Amino acid sequence: DVQLQAFGGGLVQAGGSLRLSCVGSGFTFDDYAIGWFRRAPGKAREGVSCISGLDGSTYYADSVRGRFTISSDNAKNTVYLQMNSLKPEDTAVYYCAKGAATTLTELYEYDSWGQGTLVTVSS
């Protein structure tokens, strides 16, 4: 049974940091991409960052590049999203998912979406 769970959300002031964790089970991380996505109130789900399980290559949305860092520990089946210099516009529910390709725009490539973790950034 494939499962992904996202952890680590919370309330933080603008300029602060949070680290999200995505823990998976039931599949081999090496074979897939893991993506982080978010949905802000009233907006569509958008890709934030993803990492290739095959070669570790990483991708970022323009809105977070330079502030967020994705990393993985395949031995622990965990992918992390370190979020620094957080802004109020980063407020959203953050999800992780398993993907057949490293893409931030073609969400149909992803499945096994986790339940999401809420990140709230106060100004």
Q: For 15-34, how does the pLDDT look when each residue is reduced to its tens digit (9 = 90+)?
A: 999 999 999 999 988 889 99
> Measured on CA atoms in the order 54, 116, 123, 89, is the torsion positive or negative?
positive
Question: pLDDT band at residue 114, thresholds of 50, 70 and 90?
Answer: confident
Question: pLDDT band at residue 96, thresholds of 50, 70 and 90?
Answer: very high
CA 10 → CA 33, 76, 110, distances in Å?
25, 23, 25
Q: For 59-78, how does the pLDDT look when each residue is reduced to its tens digit (9 = 90+)?
A: 999 999 999 999 999 889 99
Cβ contacts of residue 30 below 8 Å, gap of 6+?
53, 54, 74
